[in-house]
Structure 1
Amino acid sequence: MSQSMTQVLPQPLPQPVARRPRRPVYRRVPVRRILCLLPLAAVAVWVLQHRSLIGSGARQMLTANPWWLLVAVTMTGLTWVAVSFARQGAVHEPLPARRLFVTQFAAGAANHLLPSGIGASAVNIRFMTGCGIPAARSSAALALYFLAEGVTRIGLLAVLFLAFPEALRLGQVLPDRSGAAVMAAVAAGVIVLLVGALLIRPVRRLVGTFLRTALSDARSLHRRPARALALWGGSLAFPLLQAAGLVAVALALELEVRPPHVMLAYLAATAVAALIPSPGGIGSVDAALVIALVSAGAPAESATSAVLTYRFITVWLPLVPGALALAALVRAKVI
């Protein structure tokens, strides 16, 4: 009886299995992993394209004094410390010191992949916004850093030029006025572009808002002596350490040029090369440095060797570790 009743009673219907909503295709793509590998791939391609320059710089290092080369490497490492101080001085909020330093190291690699410092600027803006600083104030801090670094660099150049007016003899390197004509044309083009952009109302409104934010932040930062000292001290130390690195390379290769003249040549060359937007200054900085050192009295072959060695230490040697640091920061969602 019981068996027949159980057979007559209706069995419960199976419950439908809830299907998980299908994720969009773009969410299934491992975007962050791809972004981690992009810096390494870009560096690999770039190294292959410039392998002859890397080989030349490495060969020059084999004949140089290793102790002075170690000094040059140390000066290069200290530049990231100086930049870290300057970046901290441009914002009110305290930034995590270790992450800030690693970010500057990684930004150096990104800076060699995009022209005119775009890579380093993008990395630093992402880092500051990740630390809770709004995008407008991050951009204002970036502009304040560039202003401080530019003022200190030009100020050092003016002081050294007044102290050693005979250091650079450009007339012997550029006998005609073609170089001055090119520089004037580039400067005129930049001025025309800026004026044309400011004539457009949306651009003018955006620039006005940005300038008001930047000026407000700059005034409040300079009321805090610690921030002002970090900003201007780091901005002053940065070009000094860069120039000191070139002096150490010149001493390692026994370049017959006085150290103050080498520093003046470096500051003048980088100021001119900044007008030519190339990734990492490859080509523009190299040519300007060779011309400046030759005008300071160095033979052309020795000047080329010094520039190749210096660029190997400051650009090529930290490039792969910097790309690895950049990939690690992307993976850790720091930037």
Structure 2
Amino acid sequence: MTERSPWGRLVAAQFAAGAANHLLPAGAGATVVNLRFLTRCGLSTRRAATAPAVKAAVGGTVRCALGLALLAASPGTVRLAARVPHVSLLLSVAAGVVVLAVAISGRLRRVVARAVADVRDVHRYRARACALWGGSVAFALLHAGVVVAVVHAIGLGLPVSRVVMAYLVAGGAAAPLPTPGGLGSLDAALALALTAAGAPGPAAVSTVLGYRLLTGWLPMAPGLLVPAILVRRSAL
């Protein structure tokens, strides 16, 4: 977004958003916390709602771009993608439903038009555009890096390219499913993708548990404490 927000409180709010994301389905927890935080910062409800939508749209675009780049750079990962054929079908159907809903609903068309206008405004500022796209790339690569680190720690000899592709495929498959924090859906998809990449079943499950520990359960501790502090300071 083009407006400035208090940096320290913004970072703290993301810990609260991460904790809330594990309680409500389909990313609703983080969206609600960020919406409340941004309205407290003085943004209108529409502007506050557009910011997370822009972030989510760019994040999905980045994941697709990273997957295509990985396929081009490492053709061996094509076999992994081919073993999970339902992913592309599921994403195509979801995209078709979204496009149809936007085409039918005038209200949705207005919402999309406002979001496009906000994206255009952000891209007028080079630093903000770099933060938007760079942050989305960093998020995907850091999470993929955690999976790679866990795979290395338990002694699996899988190529890095296959592990990263497994994470991208699993994330794309789990995204449309309404489970809190991807719990269950991402776990099953990641285990399946790692198995398709050549990992034994028990090792794939161990990798998923290690990934969850580092990216979900450990950050929950500060995430559960931060909301009370932010509410006391009228930031939420």
State the 1:190 CA deviation.
Answer: 7.2
Give the 5 Å matches for 1:102-117. Answer: 102-117=12-27
Corresponding residue of 2:232: 331
* Aligned partners of 1:168 and 1:296 also within 8 Å: no
* Aligned partners of 1:269 and 1:289 also within 8 Å: yes
Evaluate the alpha carbon distance shift between residue 250 and residue 168 of structure 1 in structure 2; reply closer, same or farther with a 3 A threshold. Answer: farther
How many correspondences in the alignment? 236
Out of 222, 226, 235, the residue aligned to residue 123 of structure 2 is 222
* Aligned partners of 1:160 and 1:264 also within 8 Å: yes
Give the 5 Å matches for 1:282-293. Answer: 282-293=183-194
* Aligned partners of 1:114 and 1:279 also within 8 Å: yes
State the 1:99 CA deviation.
Answer: 0.6
Give the 5 Å matches for 1:290-305. Answer: 290-305=191-206
Q: Distance in 1 between matches of 2:134 and 2:170?
A: 22
2:218 is the counterpart of 1:308:
no
Evaluate the alpha carbon distance shift between residue 217 and residue 170 of structure 1 in structure 2; reply closer, same or farther with a 3 A threshold. Answer: closer
Tell me the SS of whatever aligns to 1:102: helix
Give the 5 Å matches for 1:176-187. Answer: 180=86, 184=89
2:2 is the counterpart of 1:92:
yes
Corresponding residue of 1:319: 220
**Identity across the alignment (%):** 44
* Aligned partners of 1:111 and 1:279 also within 8 Å: yes
What's the TM-score, normalizing by structure 2? 0.90
Q: Distance in 2 between matches of 1:154 and 1:196?
A: 22
Q: Distance in 1 between matches of 2:91 and 2:126?
A: 38
Q: Distance in 1 between matches of 2:53 and 2:9?
A: 21
Instruction: Give the AA of the match of 1:107.
Output: A
Corresponding residue of 1:239: 140
Tell me the SS of whatever aligns to 2:211: helix
- Per-residue displacement from partner, 1:58-87 (whole Å, max 9, x unpaired)? xxxxxxxxxxxxxxxxxxxxxxxxxxxxxx
Tell me the SS of whatever aligns to 1:207: helix
2:53 is the counterpart of 1:149:
no
State the 1:238 CA deviation.
Answer: 0.7
2:176 is the counterpart of 1:275:
yes
Out of 151, 154, 170, the residue aligned to residue 253 of structure 1 is 154
Evaluate the alpha carbon distance shift between residue 226 and residue 187 of structure 1 in structure 2; reply closer, same or farther with a 3 A threshold. Answer: closer
State the 1:184 CA deviation.
Answer: 4.0
2:100 is the counterpart of 1:195:
yes
Evaluate the alpha carbon distance shift between residue 152 and residue 323 of structure 1 in structure 2; reply closer, same or farther with a 3 A threshold. Answer: same
Give the gaps of 5 or more residues in structure 2.
Answer: none
State the 1:213 CA deviation.
Answer: 2.0
Evaluate the alpha carbon distance shift between residue 195 and residue 288 of structure 1 in structure 2; reply closer, same or farther with a 3 A threshold. Answer: same
State the 1:325 CA deviation.
Answer: 1.1
Q: Distance in 2 between matches of 1:111 and 1:125?
A: 13
- Per-residue displacement from partner, 1:216-256 (whole Å, max 9, x unpaired)? 22212211111111111111111011101111111111111
* Aligned partners of 2:80 and 2:166 also within 8 Å: no
What's the TM-score, normalizing by structure 1? 0.65
* Aligned partners of 2:77 and 2:165 also within 8 Å: yes
- Per-residue displacement from partner, 1:193-220 (whole Å, max 9, x unpaired)? 7636754xxxx23223322322222212
* Aligned partners of 2:91 and 2:173 also within 8 Å: no
Evaluate the alpha carbon distance shift between residue 235 and residue 285 of structure 1 in structure 2; reply closer, same or farther with a 3 A threshold. Answer: same
Q: Mean alpha-carbon deviation: is it higher for 214-223 or for 129-138?
A: 214-223
Evaluate the alpha carbon distance shift between residue 158 and residue 229 of structure 1 in structure 2; reply closer, same or farther with a 3 A threshold. Answer: same
- Structure with higher Rg: it is 1
Q: Distance in 2 between matches of 1:156 and 1:102?
A: 28
State the 1:185 CA deviation.
Answer: 6.6
- Per-residue displacement from partner, 1:109-139 (whole Å, max 9, x unpaired)? 1111111101101111111111111111112
- Per-residue displacement from partner, 1:254-305 (whole Å, max 9, x unpaired)? 1111122211111111111112111111111111111111111111111111
Tell me the SS of whatever aligns to 2:76: coil
